[in-house]
Amino acid sequence: MSNKDFRRELGHVFDEMAGSPSSALSDRVRSSLADVPEQRGPYWVAGVAAALIAAVVIGVLFVANPLNRPPTGVGPGVGSPTPAASPSANPSPSPSPTPDANLPPFVCAAGAPITSSTPPLSGFVDAVRTGTHAGYDRLTVEFQNGQPGSIELRPQSGATFTNSPRGDQVTLLGSNGILVVIHSADMHTSYSGPTDIKTGYATLVEVRQVEDFEGYVQLALGVSGPTCYRAFILTDPYRLVIDIQAP
């Protein structure tokens, strides 16, 4: 084979490399290599050309070989990643004791007075509030300038009370009552709310002022049912809290 024919053959090989390799390609390369030693031209040209053709053929075969393709990760036998286990939820904390657990027990008779060691000259009532809760109704009497000297609760049968200092009687709603007597107190200087409150509750049905005179304040409570109660003082601000137990 002449050098001209060899170059032509080499051009045909490169042209065929752009497509898929054929069975005639390898025969043509071997034939070209077999004829190289018979040429009179320089041997190094034929060697370089043969090495270049072999490298190209090997590269094409490597790229076209389906065995060299990386797996796609999708198909039969390929499992999806196992999801990480989610952290277990923390157990719910135990419920804290209800505020009622720290309150005094209910009683159904007159108890010892609630006293203050450092009372003001006169404890000014500035708010009277009522509320209803599960198991009891509540009366709150708030004092503007500290806890009064003494507070007494006097349960009674019937709901009739005496207005003081006039001496006339008034009957409240309910079947029984509790008289709340507050010493060293004032319900007219800082208080401008109602003096007769009909609550509409099931147990504590009415609250009425029956005295505000010379340092004494008396509140009459009309109760539907037994007169069982608990009374205590809260601070910031000072207030008397009376809970009437539901029957």
In tens digits, what is the pLDDT along the chain, a chain of 247 residues?
555 565 566 556 555 554 545 555 556 545 654 554 444 445 545 565 566 666 655 654 555 554 555 555 444 444 455 555 454 445 445 444 456 778 999 999 999 999 999 999 999 999 999 999 999 999 999 999 999 999 999 999 999 999 999 999 999 999 999 999 999 999 999 999 999 999 999 999 999 999 999 999 999 999 999 999 999 999 999 999 999 999 9
Fold of 105-245: Immunoglobulin-like (2.60.40)
* Residue corresponding to tokens 């070209």: 32
Domains in the chain: boundaries: 3-68, 105-245
Give residue 232's Cα distance to chain centre: 34
Residue 50, H or E segment: helix 43-64
Instruction: Supply the pTM of this predicted model.
Output: 0.61
| Residue type, position 143, single letter | F
